[in-house]
Amino acid sequence: MKYILQVDFPHDGIFKEEFSKAFVSLAEDIKQEAGLIWKIWTENESTKEAGGIYLFDNENDAKRYLEKHTKRLESFGYTNIRAKIFEVNAPLSAITNASLV
């Protein structure tokens, strides 16, 4: 079973290329997380939000990472962090071309 972790939060800072350059070291750190298959970084400058969609190979690692990441975001001064964990429906996701590896 695979699990999606969805995280977003208000972000009143940098976006686009500047955002990409500023968070390379964080991305390098995140890619080492146990159970992480991939992360998609999300940002919406017009609504001043940022976050990510993560695919984990187990629920325990998704929950552990969410706790760690929430503490990290709070240490950066972020508040109103929203997160959800979902089980992935692999058969239907395959039909709609989702890559779960």
Q: Give the model confidence (pLDDT) of 42-72 as tens digits.
A: 999 999 999 999 999 999 999 999 999 999 9
3-state secondary structure of 88: coil
Report the b/e string of 4-25 with b at 16+ CB within 10 A.
bbebbbebeeeeeeeeeeeeee
Distance in angstroms (rounded) separating the CA atoms of residues 55 and 50: 17
pLDDT tens for 13-47 read 999 999 999 999 999 999 999 999 999 999 999 99
Residue 23: predicted pLDDT:
94
What is the pLDDT at residue 101? 85
100 in a structural domain: no
Residues 70-84 have a mean pLDDT of: 97
Count: domains in the chain = 1
Q: What is the pTM of this model?
A: 0.94
- CATH number of the domain at 21, please: 3.30.70.100
What is the residue range of 49's domain? Answer: 3-95
Alpha carbon 53 to its chain's center: 4
